[in-house]
Every structure is written in C-alpha cells, then in structure tokens.
Chain A
Amino acid sequence: MNFVQCNLGAGVRLHMCETDKFKSITCKMFIQQDLQSPTATSTALVPFLVRRGSQNFPSTLQIARELEYLYAADFSSDVLKIGERQILEFYFQMVDASLLPQGEQQLERGLRTFWDIATNPAGPGDAFIEDYFTQEKQSLKQELEGLVNEKRAYALFRSMALMCGEEPFGIYKYGDVDTLASLENRSVYHHFNSLWSQYPLDIFLVGTNLDVAANLFGQLVAKRGAIHKLKLPKRVQVPKSRFIEETTDMQQAIVVLGYRTNCSYLDEDYYALLVGNGILGGFPHSKLFMNVREKASLAYYVGSSIEGSKGLLTITAGINGDSRDQTLQIIQEQLDAIQQGDFSDEELEQTKRGLASAMTSMNDHPAGIIDRNLIGIVHEQMRTIDQVTEAIRQVQKEDVVRVMANVALDTTYVLRAPQQEGDSHGAD
C-alpha cells in the first residue's frame, strides 16, 4: 500500500495509492505552515468557514444535500498540529465508482464538489459572506472556551501550553480567543487564499480510478509562484523541572508529565524511542498500565505517548486526588527502570510486535494509510510501512536504554478539584 508521487506545480504533490481493497475512494488534502501567532487563529477559522458554503453550494444545507445525493459522500475539514507545523486538512470520501450506477461520473462530480467546498467559499470574491464570518468566529470562540469541557484534553492542553509557553509548540492548534476577537473578514479571506497559493500542498488519494482523479486535480490546481520555506522545531534543554497544580471543579484528578526526549523523527534512535515509550506506557502490557493500574488500582487510564516531530514524551493518568504523590512516585519508578535497562526481553519483543502490528494495521484503513505520512511530509522524508516495521524490528535493548537515558522531565502538571479547605491557589 505505497504511494506513487507526482508534482502538480510548485509545492504541490499528488500521492496516489491505487487499490481495489476498499469500498470507497478517499482523498485528503493538507496545507502546511509554521505554527505561529496570529496566523494560527486565522487558519483555525477555515474549517469552520468552508463548511458554510461554496460558490456552487452556497449553504450548509446545499452542501449536505449534495453529499447525500452522492450516496453518503463525506466531507470534513480540520486543523492539526504536528510538532510546530499547523496543518489544514480537507477530507473527502465516497463509495467506490465500481459500486455505483454511472460510477465514473459520480466520482468526478464528487471530486469537483470537494474541490469547490475546499477552495471556493461562498462570498463576493474578496471576503467570506459576512454573516457566516461573524457566526463562525462565534463557533470558534465557543470551541476554544469549550476546551474546559473535556477534562483530560483540557489537562493536556494546559500542560503543553505551560511547558512550551516560550516555543511555537505552546500555541494551541485552534489559536486563541484574544487573537480571534481581532480578526477581520477580508484579512482572513486573504490569508485563506495565500494558504492555497503559497504553502506546501499535499493531496493524497486511496482507491480506484485514480487516473480520473489525477487528471481532474491536474486541471484544478492553479499555477503558483514561490512557496514559503518552513521551519522545524529547535531543541530545548531543560534547566530544571517544574511542578504546576491547577484546580477546577471536577471528580477525578488528572496528572500529565511532559518530558523532552532530545530525539525526533529524523534521528537514528527515533524507533528506539517509540519502543521505549511502548515499554513504558504504550500498551496494556506496559509498565505504567501494569503498575499504576493493575497492581496499585490507582487509575482506569494511564499511558504514555510520543510527539515525534517536537520530540516530546507525555504521560497521562486519571486518578483520585488523594493518590497524586503515590502515582507520581510509581510513574517515576517505571521510567527509572527503563533507563537502567530493567526490562525483560519479553517486554521488548512484545512491544516491538505491538508497534509493528499497529503500524501494519494502518494498511487496512484508507485514512490511516494517508495520515501516517503526515510526519513524513513535515520532515520531507516519507517512509513506507515496510521501512518503519523493519526499523522497529532492528531495535535492540541497548538502543532503548541509550535513547531513554536522554528523556528528561520538564513539567509535572496536575489538574484537580480544590481541596476541601485551605488550598485556594490557581482556581478557575
């Protein structure tokens, strides 16, 4: 399930995976830019605005009816963050042409609709429709203010904002409320057009009849001038680790530990880092799951993950506020154990298999086949699933110990309910 690439113009790459394995055709388009203020908030408005209407389907209602007519075609748009890149995503999926009456025509109609929604918003030509703009500013504001609603996501958001406050990574993928208040219709529209003309664009297709799709995109993609050069994250050394506790009204307490790994996607030890993280907290057989949950009964969920572009390792657990110190101590012991090489060949082997299995499983999901390449396009080094699984297979115990030795705690963040009496700091 590998992609064939071709260029459709300056900074525009088309990636095609021709396969009759699935009952649908899937297309995703990604536009990358550096994550920075204030453009992050402008970009975050785009997914909200495009779903309101295009030149040919000028309302949500008309878009929805067209998608239904196309046998449950699916359109969505969102903003993602990979390291210090902000990525604008457009997604389209529809039933494979071979399963529909007049399939090829339906496919072409679907892709034209997709392109129209993504690139051609309804409006007078130099701005979005004013009502849509006002309403979607409100929607994004509610989204940003609504971060507090999901406590686990909120704790992660707060911990990263605090830990990386001085770095672009500290910016939330949807920007911030203050910038949003200052945004004006025409300038966001201008920004939207520059995204389509001046930033790297990657179009991915998975399915059949891709020649039809490729020809169509060849016609639709406009000629472009110079493309912005983008940056990769800088390494940050941890002077001294911090402990931050915040309180809010909630039942559980959530701890988030943020570590700098000094290792990212382009480093030789990257796959050893993935394996080390897997042994620590990536699976139900991992040390964190076994010791924090199964042995000590402190949590329902506990685990760790890697942000591979920025090179961060994050541990999250939902616990009872009273068991904070005990939990933090057990977590520390697990990381210490890995750094000292205190893990079995079985743990290593299980983790390598688990990672390879998860990686290979992506071949069974069209969106998974596409999404796994995001980190590759950000770092301009795409790797096939075979290359990745082979790299994982090669990882030895000493590689894991070496790479995990560099994992340094930066910020311990705790979100919990205010204590019954006394404690009153940092409330919100």
Chain B
Amino acid sequence: MFQEQLDNGLKVFILPKPQFLRTYAVLSTNYGSIDSQFQLPEQGFVEVPPGIAHFLEHKLFEEEEGNAFDRFAQWGASVNAFTSYTQTSYLFSTIEGWQEALSDLINLVNSPYLTTENVEKEKGIIEQELRMYEDHPDHRIHSVLLENLYHVNPVRIDIGGTVESVRAITVEELFNCYETFYQPGNMAMAVVGDVDSEETLGLIRQNYPTWQHRQGSIERLYPDEPAEVVNPWVEEELNISRPRYLLGFKHEPIWQGERLLRQQIVMSLVWRLVAGRSSQFFGDLYARNLVDDSFGASFNSSPQFAYSVVGSETDNPERLHEELRKIISQLQSSPPSSTDIDRLKRRIYGGHLASYDSFEYVANRLITHYFSQTPYYRFLDLVRDVTVDEIQVALNEQLDWKRSTVSVLRPVQT
C-alpha cells in the first residue's frame, strides 16, 4: 500500500492489486450530514438545513453541458456516490480507460454547476428517495431510534434530511458548504486495481485543479449532547407483516485515535457475545420465536458520536426486551471464556484477510480511518492484544440501560 499527502493537502492511498481487471477509485470529503454548523469567514457560525451534504452529492453530477454520467459511460465505467453521517464519497469502477475516468472523477468533484433551476429540479428526485426510505422498515426503525436516543446531535436526523428541509435548501447554502468542505486539505482519494503507484500519483497531481475557494482549518460546531436519552421506549406503526424491535445504547464519544479503533474491536466482540449465532443465547431466543435470522447488532462510532444497536423481527418486543436484559446482565456478571474470545478473534483475523478482495470495502476503510485519525495499520495487533477484562469492562460501562432507547415498529392495525 502506497500513501502520500499532496502539496494541496489531498491525501492519496494507492493499493495495487495484480491480476485484477477492474480499477476502483473513490474521492471523499470529510464532510457528512452531521456537519451542519460551521464557520464562514464573513458571517461567523451558520447553520444549514439537514440533508444538504447529500443534496450536494446529487448536484455535483450536474454539468453545464449534460451530466457526468455520459462521460463515464464512454469508458463503460460505472460511477456513483454516497453520503454518510461523516463523509461524502464519489467513486467509479471500470475495466477500460481508468486513467481518463480518474481525471473525470476529479473534475466531477471540482466543477460544481449549480443554478436555481437545476437545484429546484433535484428536489423532486430527492423527495422520491426520501419517500422510498420512509416505506423501508429497517430504515424507519433506525431513524425513529436515533431521534429518540439523541436530543441535539445531528446524527438524530436522516442523512438525506426531510422533505421540508430539502425544499428549503438554496443555491447559496450549497455553495457555502461546497467552498468550505471540498477543499483538498479536507479530502482523500483511494485507488485500487492493477495500477502502478507512481503513474497513478502522477495522474492525480497533474489533474487535480488549483483550489480557488476558501482554505485553511474548518471550524465546525456540534451541540452538547446530554447524557440521557429523549425517550426510553418509542413505537410506530408501519405496513409490515410482524413487529420489529431495535434497542440502542448511547455511548459517550470519548475515544480518539488508536483508542477508538481498539474500542471498535472490543465492541464488535461484545456484540458477537450477545447476538452472534455462536452465542450461547441465540438458540433459545430463536426457538421461542423471539428473534429470527434478522437478529444482529453493531457499534457505530466516529469522533462525534457513538452508539450501538441490537434488534430483530420478533413476535413479542416486550419479551425480547426482557430476555436481552437478562442476557446482558448475565454477561456483565460472568466474564466470557478465553476459548470463546480466541475463536472470535480467529473469525476477525480471517475476515480481515478476506476483506482485501473487496476493493470498495478496502478503499472506503482506508479513507474513513484517515478522516477519523484511527491507525488502521495497527488493527491486527490490537485484535491480538484485546483482553477478556477489556471486554468485561465494556459490557459493564457501555451497556447502560439508563442511556438506552427501544424503537418498535408494529404492523398497522386495520
């Protein structure tokens, strides 16, 4: 793996993969849906409508003459983009013409073409995207959970915003966000494929335009989030076949750098013990139809927020909740066996090796860890070093019922 920071501040990662035919490249900004308050040189701190990072992602595909899809299509390349809470990424995958596509990707991100007319036009498209998610039970239950776990942290609002907030977005606001967050010093690029590192780096240097807008450190503001949750239990109805249950724990985002990476490993082990198929509890919950194959858990963290979720489709959300309380309490009082932990570590190790075959996964991981300043190269060492005691501490400190919310979706009563 090759990495370098260009003079303009852009961080570049290149991972040569001999024998592979595809080239994948991603150009990302350290800017996502939660970055809604920031400082402008003249105006001081401003707050922009929710959903603006995602809106901007849509709009960068617009060009004065036609749109960017056509330029990638001439190489048969597929191009796409996505926005998360903390990051916006533009990517392509191609067999032919990767050098040209690379330069097209850089241009796409560096030549915004925003007019009142084309911004208005996009609102209809995004409204349909948001409505699609509103019909989606997994998305819905997660949104309701975060709205009730967090009081003010912007992670409580959908990445795409709301139909109303999207309607309010203006060209000027889009430009302000663009000029603040798309400066090369706030961005990173990763290229994976059968490419030569020097050639790739040369192409990026040569094609990356001189940044004409704001430069320098970006002051962002995140509101102070109280420790307690908004609502410990919240229910909604949706047109679904059976109830769904999702439990969330709000964690204090205290970890930075290597400690954050280490905590991610520890929490992934914690949730395997609670909700993995290899956990001693799964069989009983499954046999009683309290969980099904959708049962799963995850730890989601960044320097600005951290929370865990665990959930399933279920016949009985209340009963599942009681059982999870018992399971977690049992794990909190008796340490996991080192046999279990060693086996789970083998799983992480094997999964890590195999992950290098997924270009998308590897490239996005490099960038995410760069933005959150977590030293990913230390991953396997940290996995090896994690102790049973640390897992025990995390179980007791992080799974705090006073900081938990349950989100339940029930079938619409007709």
Contact = CB atoms under 8 A, between A and B. Distances in A.
A358 B121 contact: no
Q: For chain A, what secondary structure do more than half of its interface residues adopt (helix, strand, loop), or is it mixed?
A: helix
A239 interface: no
Contact of A60 (B20, B136, B283, B349): B283
B313 interface: yes
A60 B286 contact: yes
Interface stretch (A69-77, A180-188, A376-384, A404-412): A69-77
B240 A68 contact: no
B124 interface: yes
Contacts of A293: 125
Nearest to A22: B357
B348 interface: yes
Interface in B8-24: 19-22
A152 B239 CA distance: 13
B74 A353 contact: yes
Contacts of A64: 276-278, 282
Interface in B70-88: 70, 73-79
A124 interface: no
A365 B354 CA distance: 12
Contacts of B240: 146, 148-149
Contact of A146 (B74, B286, B313): B313
A146 B241 contact: yes
Interface residue tally on A, bucketed by range: 35 or more
Interface stretch (A92-100, A159-167, A260-268): A92-100
Contacts of A138: 289
B278 A65 contact: yes
Contacts of B21: 360-361, 363-364
A353 B73 contact: yes
Given A285-B70, A300-B129, A249 B344 contact: no
A248 B94 contact: no
Contact of A24 (B78, B131, B357): B357
Interface string A348-362: 011111111110110
Contacts of B93: 361
B351 A72 contact: yes
A364 B22 contact: yes
A309 to B, nearest CB: 25
Interface residue tally on B, bucketed by range: 35 or more
Given A294-B67, A297-B122, A353-B76, A251 B354 contact: no
B95 interface: yes
A150 B240 CA distance: 8
A283 interface: yes
A418 B20 CA distance: 50
A139 B293 contact: yes
A371 B242 CA distance: 33
Nearest to B244: A149
Contact of B347 (A68, A149, A152): A68
A318 interface: yes
Contact of A252 (B75, B78, B125, B128): B128
B390 interface: no
B70 A145 contact: no
B68 to A, nearest CB: 9
A150 B282 CA distance: 26
B202 interface: no
Interface string B84-121: 00000000011110000000000000000000000001
Given A68-B343, A135-B287, A252-B131, A357 B78 contact: yes
Given A65-B343, A72-B347, A251-B131, A146 B242 contact: yes
Interface string B336-375: 0000000110111111011011010000000000000000
Contact of B239 (A59, A99, A248): A248
A252 B127 CA distance: 10
7 A-B pairs closest in CB distance: A71-B350, A353-B76, A297-B124, A72-B350, A357-B76, A64-B277, A64-B278
Given A72-B351, A357-B78, 20 more contacts: A21-B19, A23-B353, A72-B347, A95-B353, A248-B239, A250-B239, A251-B131, A252-B132, A283-B69, A289-B69, A297-B123, A298-B124, A350-B70, A352-B76, A353-B75, A353-B76, A356-B95, A357-B75, A361-B93, A365-B357
